[in-house]
Amino acid sequence: MLVTLINFMAYPAAAHPHVWVTTVTRFIVAKGAVTGIRVEWAFDEFYSSSLIEDYTDHHDVKFDAKDVAALKKGAFQRTAGQNYFTFIKVDGKLLTDLIPSEFNATVVKGIVHYQFLLPLRAPVDPRRHPLTVTYYEESYYVDVTPEAAHIEGDGSLVCKTTIAEDPNTTIYFGMVKPMMVTLHC
Amino acid sequence: MIKLVMHRMTSFGVLSILLWPALVLADPLRGDVPGSKSTGSVPLWVPDIIRHLMRELIDIQRVMIGDLQHAIGLVRNGGSVRAALMVVGIGLIYGIVHAIGPGHGKIVVASYLGSRQARFAHALRISWVMSALQAGSAIALISVLYFVLHLGGRALLADGALFETVSFGLIGLFGLVVAWRAAWGRKGCGHGSICGHDHEHNHGDVVPRGEILMGSVAVGLRPCTGSLLILLFTFANGLPWLGIAATLAMAAGSAVTVALVGIGAVGTRLVVVRVAGDGPLALWLGRAVAVAAGGVIAVTGFTMLAASLMLGPMG
């Protein structure tokens, strides 16, 4: 009860986005089913600059293998508690405990990009089991917005993607419905 | 006045030592947000129109940040005065819009000014002092961290979070002071003694200069995270003066918004007072409201303090 009150009162100072992330979503398709989702994040230039400051040698604006490992540990792995801001739902149910692989970080014209793959534990046929991906950071200090979505793989599925507000999720004290990518096959 | 400032600084020092162990990184990407209380877990019903307005507000800020980054890039690459002025201009508008969102002392200002014999001039004074201090604290923090200590983004956001936590505590204390003074009147000026002003006035609800400063310091101590990131960016790119100019512009914009809130509060009170009249009940009510306002500020400050210690700092 007290916690709810504190939550409510904290609204006046609750996090207002200060870091802006856009995502590209790639559904990996093999033999008529989705086997994994490849996610790419692009940070805004200000936050990118702070990552570059902290994780590269000063005269070298790119991430070498050592930097990528440090980034993964210090500025990516900790989002595990929030599903890496990537909430994949099959039949409306959230998939939990997905382990990202193939993490990489690059700098392109001052913008830091992360890439990682979230393999599904079992392939999902989206024609029979609706598949959606919602992006958000729960305190809304980080705004995570999907910008584009693609299908990749062996071409065994012909699908469209749409990006719209997730009607079933709200953050920021009911004020914001995060954006969701839906696969239509 | 000096004694007041010294007193405040001593409290700041004591509070920061006490609060250091509870410090949490402000950044969900780099540190855990403790207590995993999702902001969505409080199911407030929010009308669709408010949701749409909020989304508009956020989208506007997202676009402005992009424009700001673009303009700073222009300055870095060509150094034109026009681009620099664009940075300042965008900063000003961003400050106005950003201050409409949560934070930036609006509750403190509205409660305080709406509950006592404040004039419009007080609204302007408190908002510009508060905003100037917020800009000053961001600039001071970055300058020290960057030039003196050569620390990077992570330390900066962490220390910003410390200032923020302390600021919440000071807001709470400010509320207590305001409520106390409203309840008991000024020292040596009990009801019935000669104070040099009309006995019809409520002694507890005037606007002493010291309280304006106290409130401004309490709120202004908290640097805006947006300014911190912009300052870090410009400092890292060899454009410290541009970052400082942008921060000052943002503070000016923020002051405009907070001043408008303050003016609204003063105006509302004037209307209410006119309607309520001059009788003893109205005077008593006036004093009660003044005490209650102090209470609101204290509760706001202390619950935000508790929330920031439990949930992790908020931007």
Partner-chain contact A173 B46, CB within 8 Å:
yes
Reported as type and span, the H/E element at residue A124 is strand A111-124
What pLDDT shows up at residue B40?
Answer: 47
Q: Residue B16 carries which side chain, given as an amino acid letter? A: S
Q: What is the mean pLDDT of residues B178-199?
A: 55
The model's pTM:
0.75
Suggest the residue from A50, A56, A137, A171 to mutate for an interface test with chain B (most B CBs closer than 10 A). A50
Q: What confidence tier does B6 reach under pLDDT thresholds 50, 70, 90? A: low
What pLDDT shows up at residue B160?
Answer: 67
Compute the distance between CA of residue A93 and CA of residue A3 in angstroms, rounded to an integer.
Answer: 27
In B71-100, the residues whose Cβ lies within 8 Å of chain A are 73, 98
Q: Residue B161 carries which side chain, given as an amino acid letter? A: A
Partner-chain contact A172 B40, CB within 8 Å:
yes
In terms of CA atoms, which chain B residue is nearest residue A12?
B102
Q: What is the pLDDT of residues B82-133, one digit of tens each?
A: 889 999 999 999 988 888 876 667 878 888 888 877 888 888 888 888 899 8
In A11-50, the residues whose Cβ lies within 8 Å of chain B are 11-20, 44-47, 49-50
What ipTM goes with this model? 0.76
A94 three-class SS: strand
What pLDDT shows up at residue A9?
Answer: 41
Partner-chain contact A49 B236, CB within 8 Å:
yes
**If we measure between CA atoms, which residue out of A174, A142, A153 comes closest to residue A22?**
A142
User: Nearest Cβ partner of A142 from B28, B41, B54?
Assistant: B28
Examine the pLDDT at B204 and tell me if it is beyond 60.
no
Compute the distance between CA of residue B31 and CA of residue B47 in angstroms, rounded to an integer.
Answer: 33
User: For chain B, what's the residue count?
Assistant: 315
Write the burial class of residue B79 (CB in 10 Å: 0-12 exposed, 13-18 middle, 19+ buried). Answer: exposed
Q: What is the pLDDT of residues A62-118, one digit of tens each?
A: 899 999 999 999 889 989 989 999 999 999 999 998 999 999 999 998 899 999 999
Backbone φ and ψ for A43, nearest 5 degrees, come out as: -90, 160
**Regarding predicted confidence, which is higher, B162 or B69?**
B69
In B246-305, the residues whose Cβ lies within 8 Å of chain A are 299-300, 303-304
**Regarding predicted confidence, which is higher, B302 or A43?**
A43
B172 touches A at CB < 8 Å? no
Query: Using the 8-state DSSP alphabet, how is residue A95 labeled?
Result: P
A39 three-class SS: strand
Compute the distance between CA of residue B134 and CA of residue B11 in angstroms, rounded to an integer.
Answer: 18
User: Nearest Cβ partner of A139 from B28, B45, B62?
Assistant: B28
Q: What is the mean pLDDT of residues A132-143?
A: 91
Residues B53, B226, B69, CA angle at the centre, nearest 5°? 90
What pLDDT shows up at residue B13?
Answer: 43
Average pLDDT, whole number, for chain A? 87
CB B100 within 8 A of CB B57: yes
Examine the pLDDT at B248 and tell me if it is beyond 50.
yes
**If we measure between CA atoms, which residue out of B221, B104, B224 comes closest to residue B166?**
B221
Q: Residue A138 carries which side chain, given as an amino acid letter? A: E
Q: Which residues of B139-154 are buried (b: 16+ CB within 10 A; e: fewer)?
A: bebbeebbeeeebbbb
B251 three-class SS: helix
